[in-house]
Amino acid sequence: MISQLPINLFRFFLLLMAQVLIFSNIHFSTYGVNPYVFPLFILLLPFETPRWMLMLIGMGAGLALDVFLGSMGMHAAACLLIGYLRPFLINVITPKGSEFEISPNVHAQGVAWFIIYLGISMFAYLTFYLFIESATFYNFFIQLLRIVSSTIVSVGLMLIFLFLFSSRKKRRFA
C-alpha cells in the first residue's frame, strides 16, 4: 500500500499538469469537445483503497484541479462521484476469477475491460460535470453530444497514456 504512494503521487502531478497545461487548453469548438484525462488518477488507484479514502482522495484531487481551472468545486464534485462509483463499477464489469494487480493495469485487465471501465466512468464524470457547469438542461441534445464526444476523446487519450506508462511487471493473483 505504502509502496504505491510515490507512483500515485507522480501520476497525480503528471496528469494534473497534462490536464491543466495541455488538454484544458484544447477547444474543438465545433463539437465542444473538452477532453479530461485527469480522472484517470482516481481510476488507477489501487484496488484495495478503502472506499471512504477513494472519495476523499477523489474530492481532494478534484479540488486541486479546480484551483487551477478556476471552477471551484465542479471537478471536485465530479471526481467525488467517480470515486464513489468506482468500486461498484469494478465489481460489475470484472469477471469472476480474473487476475488482479495492485492497481488496475491495462496489461492485466485488458484493453476491452479498460475501454468499458474508462468509458462508463468518463461518461458519468462528464455528464455530471458538464451539467453542473452549464447549470441548466437547456440545449440538452447539444450537451449530450458534447458529453459523448468528450468521453470518446478522453478515453482515447487515457488509453494512450496507459500504454505509454503501464508496466508489465509485478503480477500477482487475487
Partner 1 sequence: MVNLLRFFLRYYLLFLFVALQGFCFFLIYSKNKYNQAAYINVANGVSGRFYSTVSGVSEYLHLRGVNDSLALENAHLRAQLLDSRFDNKTDSLFARDSATRFVQVYSYIPARVIRNSVNQATNIIYLEKGKLQGINKQMGVIAPNGIVGQVINVTDNYAAVMSVLSKDFKVSAKFKKNEFFGNLHWDGINSTSATLEEIPKHVPAKVGDTIVTSGFSQLFPRNVMIGVVEKVNAAPEKTFLDITVHLSTGFGNLSYVYVVNNLRREELHLLDTSTVVK
Q: Does 84 bind partner 1 (CB under 8 A)?
A: yes
> With binding defined as CB under 8 A, does residue 22 bind partner 1?
no
Structural contact between residues 107 and 94, judged by C-beta atoms closer than 8 angstroms: no
Q: Which lies closer to partner 1 via its Cβ, residue 134 or residue 166?
A: 134
Contact status: 51 vs partner 1 (CB under 8 A): yes
74 binds partner 1, rule: CB under 8 A: yes
Minimum CB distance to partner 1 smaller for 75 or for 106:
75
Task: State whether the Cα torsion 95-53-13-33 is positive or negative.
Answer: positive
The cell numbers describing 78, all together, are: 465530479
Cβ-based neighbour number of residue 36 at 10 Å: 24
Q: Count CA atoms within 13 Å of residue 23 on its CB side.
A: 22
Helix (H, G, I), strand (E, B) or coil at 73: coil
Cell triple for 138: 437547456
Q: b vs e for 63-94, b when ≥16 Cβ sit within 10 Å of the residue's Cβ? A: bbbbeeeebeebbbbbbbbbbbbbeebbeeeb
Nearer to partner 1, 47 or 165 (CB): 47
Cβ distance to partner 1 smaller for residue 87 or 156:
87
With binding defined as CB under 8 A, does residue 135 bind partner 1? Answer: yes
In angstroms, what is the minimal distance from the CB of 131 to partner 1? 11
Interaction pattern, residues 94-133, with partner 1; x per rule: CB under 8 A = --------------------------------------xx
Residues that bind partner 1 (CB under 8 A): 51-52, 55-56, 59, 62-63, 66, 71-74, 76-77, 80-81, 84, 132-133, 135-136
